[in-house]
Amino acid sequence: MAVKDSELPYLRRCVALAAEALESGDEPFGSVLVGADGSVLGEDHNRVASGDRTRHPEFELARWSAAHLTPEERAAATVYTSGEHCPMCAAAHAWVGLGRIVYVASSEQLAEWLGQLGVPAPPVRTLPVHEVAPGVVVEGPVPELVDEVRALHRRFHQR
Ligand SMILES: [Zn+2]
């Protein structure tokens, strides 16, 4: 299943949430959890500036879905996100049995951009979702929005 035009608003919301994170001094990542009927069930952005570096939006949404959705609802839900899940979030996504993932920018793209900006490598290896959670359907990158996400990361790391 490819990314449909009707899904772009969810991805634009992810980018807007990432921009909100940046405005509040956090790393620019945003994610939206959408049910099978297209309704938005939850959304969040990075909150690692608090000092807890596990506060990624995909991780928060996975734990929220485990507490509030049935296994069937989780399997039919989609997580849209500005950047591909990191290994921690990919594992949480798979452990709670969420469905498809659609990301704007891949982890590979992000690693390349951060390398160009001279940002030190993270403590966790950068892996594509399919290496961590091979059963999850993953779509991306979405070229229409990649430049916007890249610009947010450049703004975060250049100040
Ligand atoms: Zn993560």
User: Separation of 58 CA from ligand 1 center, angstroms?
Assistant: 6
User: Separation of 59 CA from ligand 1 center, angstroms?
Assistant: 6
The tens digit of pLDDT for each residue in 7-58 reads 999 999 999 999 999 999 999 999 999 999 999 999 999 999 989 999 999 9
User: Separation of 124 CA from ligand 1 center, angstroms?
Assistant: 10
User: Separation of 133 CA from ligand 1 center, angstroms?
Assistant: 13
Q: What is the pTM of this model?
A: 0.97
The 3 state secondary structure assigned to the chain is: CCCCHHHHHHHHHHHHHHHHHHHCCCCCCEEEEECCCCCEEEEEECCHHHCCCCCCHHHHHHHHHHHHCCHHHHHHCEEEEEECCCHHHHHHHHHCCCCCEEEEECHHHHHHHHHHCCCCCCCCCCCCHHHHCCCCCEECCCHHHHHHHHHHHHHHHHC
The tens digit of pLDDT for each residue in 116-144 reads 999 999 999 999 999 999 999 999 999 99
